[in-house]
Chain A
Amino acid sequence: MAEPGAAALTTADGMPLRAALARASRRARLRAALLVAPLLLFVLVSFVWPIGQMLLRSVNNVQFAANMPELTAWFAANPRGTPVDEAAFAALAADLRLAAASRTVGTVGTRINYELPGSRSLFTATGRAAGGLEPPYREALLALNPDWGREELWTVMRGASARYTANFYLAALDLRRDAGGGIVRVAPEQRVYVSLFLRTFALSAVITVVCLALGFPVAHLLATLPVRRANMLMILVLLPFWTSLLVRTSSWIVLLQGQGVVNNVLVALGIVDEGGRLSMMYNQTGTIVAMTHILLPFMILPLYSVMKTIPPAYARAARSLGATSWTTFRRIYLPLTVPGIGAGAMLVFILAVGYYITPALVGGASGQLISNQIAFHMQNTLNWSLAAALAALLLAAVLLLYWLYDRLVGIDNMKLG
Chain B
Amino acid sequence: MTTRTLLATSALALGLASGTAAQEITVLGWGGAYTNSQVKAFHEPFTAATGIRVISVDADNPATPIKAMVEANNVTVDVASIEYADAVRMCDEGLLEPIDPASLPPAPDGTPAVDDFLPGTLTECMAGTDVFATIYAYDTTKFAGDPPATIADFFDLQRFPGKRGVRRGAKATLEMALMGDGVPADQVYAVLGTPEGVDRAFAKLDTIKSEIVWWQAGSQPPQLLADGEVVMTIAWNGRIFNAAVGEGKPFAIVWDGQVYEPEGYAMPRGTPNKDAAMQFIAFATSTEPLARAAEWISYGPTRRSSAPLVGVFQIDGKTPMPPNLPTSPENLTNALFSSYEFWVDYDAELNERFNAWLLAN
Contacts and interface: CB of A to CB of B under 8 A. Distances in A.
A191 interface: yes
A387 B68 CA distance: 14
Interface in B135-179: 163, 168-169
Interface stretch (A34-42, A118-126, A224-232, A337-345): A118-126
B63 interface: yes
Contacts of A383: 348
Contacts of A191: 356
12 contacts: A51-B3, A53-B6, A54-B6, A106-B92, A124-B92, A253-B223, A259-B227, A282-B214, A366-B361, A373-B355, A387-B2, A391-B2
Interface in A374-409: 374-384, 386-388, 390-391, 394
A225 B94 CA distance: 64
B50 interface: no
Contacts of B217: 360-361
A109 B348 contact: no
Most B-side CB within 10 Å, residue of A199, A378, A379: A378
Contacts of B1: 354, 356, 371, 374, 391, 394
Interface stretch (B16-24, B283-291, B320-328, B338-346): B338-346
A376 B220 contact: no
A258 interface: yes
A53 B227 CA distance: 44
Contact of A361 (B220, B341, B345): B220
Contacts of B169: 376, 380
Interface string B200-216: 00000000000011101
A187 B129 CA distance: 41
A257 B163 CA distance: 12
Contacts of B2: 54, 374, 378, 384, 387-388, 390-391
A109 B361 contact: no
Contacts of B67: 382, 384
Nearest to A366: B361
A121 B341 contact: yes
B7 A113 contact: no
A257 B229 contact: yes
B237 to A, nearest CB: 20
Nearest to A106: B92
Q: Lowest 10 CB-CB distances: which A-B pairs, in order? A: A106-B92, A117-B349, A391-B2, A259-B228, A103-B94, A106-B93, A365-B358, A107-B93, A192-B355, A118-B345
Q: How large is the interface on A (under 10, 10 to 19, 20 to 34, 35 or more residues)?
A: 35 or more
Most A-side CB within 10 Å, residue of B10, B60, B64, B352: B352
Contacts, number: 144
Interface string A286-329: 00000000000000000000000000000000000000000000
Nearest to B359: A195
A243 interface: no
Given A104-B94, A282-B213, A365-B168, 16 more contacts: A50-B10, A53-B6, A103-B91, A106-B92, A106-B93, A188-B356, A191-B356, A199-B359, A356-B1, A360-B216, A365-B214, A366-B358, A376-B169, A379-B5, A379-B61, A394-B1
Most A-side CB within 10 Å, residue of B91, B93, B229, B358: B93
A71 interface: no
A373 B359 CA distance: 13
Interface in B1-56: 1-7, 10
A46 B7 contact: yes
B3 A50 contact: yes
A304 to B, nearest CB: 27
Nearest to A58: B2
A360 B169 CA distance: 12
A192 B348 contact: no
Interface string A134-161: 0000000000000000000000000000
Given A106-B91, A257-B227, A382 B361 contact: no
Nearest to A51: B3
A376 B61 CA distance: 12
Contacts of B361: 365-366
Contacts of B86: 382
A282 B223 CA distance: 13
Interface string A240-284: 000000000000011001111000000000000000000001100
A27 B162 CA distance: 76
Contacts of A381: 347-348, 351
Interface in A197-250: 199
Contacts of A109: 92
A120 B340 CA distance: 11
Contacts of B216: 360-361, 372
B206 to A, nearest CB: 13
Contacts of A281: 229
A382 B89 contact: yes
B96 to A, nearest CB: 9
A74 to B, nearest CB: 24
A392 to B, nearest CB: 9
A129 B129 CA distance: 30
Nearest to B360: A189
Contacts of B89: 106, 110, 382
